[in-house]
Homo-oligomer: A and B are copies of this chain.
Amino acid sequence: MVEAALRSGAASRRCVFEVFARRLPEGRRYGVVAGTGRLLEAIEAFRFGEAELEALRGVVDEATLSFLAGYRFEGDIWGYAEGEAFFPGSPVLVVESDFAHGVVLETLVLSILNHDSAIASAASRMTSAAGDRPCIEMGSRRTHEEAAVAAARAAYIAGFGTTSNLEAGRRWDVPTAGTAAHAFTLLHDDERAAFKAQIETLGKGTTLLVDTYDVPKAVETAVELAGPELGAVRIDSGDLLVQAREVREQLDRLGATKTKIVVTSDLDEYAIAALAAAPVDIYGVGTSLVTGSGAPTAGMVYKLVAREDASGSLVGVEKKSKDKQSVGGRKYALRRRNARGVGEAEVIGIGEPPVDDGDDRSLLVPLMRAGEVVDREALSLEKARTRHTESRAELPAAARRLQRGEPAIPTIYDAGSR
């Protein structure tokens, strides 16, 4: 495409590309934008090195190779801030540049936003179901080795407290936590020897895994060895509802009233909600988090919505493909809120910003100007995490229902005064 556009001369036309999801995954009430921070860093660093150019020699012509060799994104980018909720049609990212520089970014933009937003969207439902109880992200083993690091980051934005992925800790300061595996118990001559070794090294505040052989026996041994200061026990199999109650009773009976109960074992948002009445203190979530709990990709697309015409004016463009029509024109967006600050609609302005009713909140923030990140501080993970909490709290209560349903607020297109 770049080669043909360079040759036809259209490559230099000013363009507006827009990222949006046509719909939310089946039954979901809202989505969560994540990956923005990673994406802006990736765009700043996006270059074609010698090895890449060499591989493309013969695939594209010399003019295209030379364009790619000098590639550096120098356009403007607006978008929803990381952690923000989004809805069908929300213009989560708006890229303004010439065609060639903008179209080259498509795969990078969508890969990062689709992956990270899918994880954050699932994670938000889980932390919402967990209420005040902390969630540990522990799904690294169930997804691609680099996706795992990004998943830990996205989960943290959406309210997870910690991750077992140490690289996410190193790279982005995501708080880390972990517990021992069954292998540690099986390695030792017996469970007592394993618990003893773990307590000697990690202290009585550690979390002991109690379901390798027989849960009541393990709990007894654990409290015998660590006393009432035992930090936590982890249950990873069987009926968690029943076992959490039994273990809680046993711990209390043994005097370990402050010892916490961590549950793991294929938890998802529904299992977490089902355990709300059980004496569980911490949820460890793996597989279903890193696979987006049934929706492993956010379904965002990157579409050309406006471009310069022969006379130099910017005109909206849209495809007419069956079931896949797009809405042309540069978009603006605000979250319409009632006087109590509760979200009522996602209002999308075409060609100009929609009018603020007084209690509304504008959603598109400048992210990159002439290829430079506008506000590096606003990209911090902690800010995204806080932003997510606020954005979710602002949605109507229906948003936090786990049952399948319509998006929590409708999307309204506002063609403005045109």
Give the interface of A toward B (CB within 8 A).
Answer: 1, 3-5, 7-8, 10, 13, 15, 17, 42, 51-52, 55-56, 59, 61, 99, 103, 106-108, 110-112, 114-115, 140-148, 150, 165-167, 169-170, 176, 180-189, 193, 196-198, 200-202, 211-214, 236-239, 265, 287, 290-292, 296-297, 299, 302-304, 307, 309-310, 317-324, 326
Contact = CB atoms under 8 A, between A and B. Distances in A.
Contacts of A323: 237-238
A5 B321 contact: no
A146 B148 contact: no
A201 B3 CA distance: 7
A115 B144 contact: yes
A17 B110 CA distance: 37
Report the copy number of this chain in the oligomer.
2
18 contacts: A7-B200, A8-B188, A8-B196, A10-B188, A52-B167, A59-B176, A61-B201, A103-B184, A108-B145, A112-B144, A114-B142, A144-B147, A182-B304, A185-B319, A187-B307, A211-B322, A238-B322, A238-B323
B321 A182 contact: yes
A388 B183 CA distance: 32
A27 B322 CA distance: 32
A320 B323 CA distance: 52
Contacts of A307: 186-187
Nearest to A55: B170
B238 A110 contact: no
Contacts of A184: 1, 4-5, 103
A142 B317 contact: no
Given A4-B180, A107-B148, A143-B297, 6 more contacts: A1-B183, A51-B170, A106-B181, A112-B144, A115-B147, A142-B297
A150 B145 CA distance: 10
A329 B64 CA distance: 58
A231 to B, nearest CB: 14
Contacts of A322: 211, 237-239
Contact of A181 (B1, B140, B188, B310): B1
Given A55-B166, A211-B321, A287-B297, A141 B106 contact: yes
A180 to B, nearest CB: 5
A295 B13 CA distance: 42
B166 A141 contact: no
A416 B140 CA distance: 36
A156 to B, nearest CB: 16
Contacts of A185: 319
A3 to B, nearest CB: 5
A76 B176 CA distance: 31
B141 A59 contact: no
Nearest to A147: B144
Q: Which 8 A-B pairs have the closest CB atoms?
A: A8-B197, A238-B322, A55-B170, A144-B147, A110-B141, A237-B321, A183-B304, A146-B146
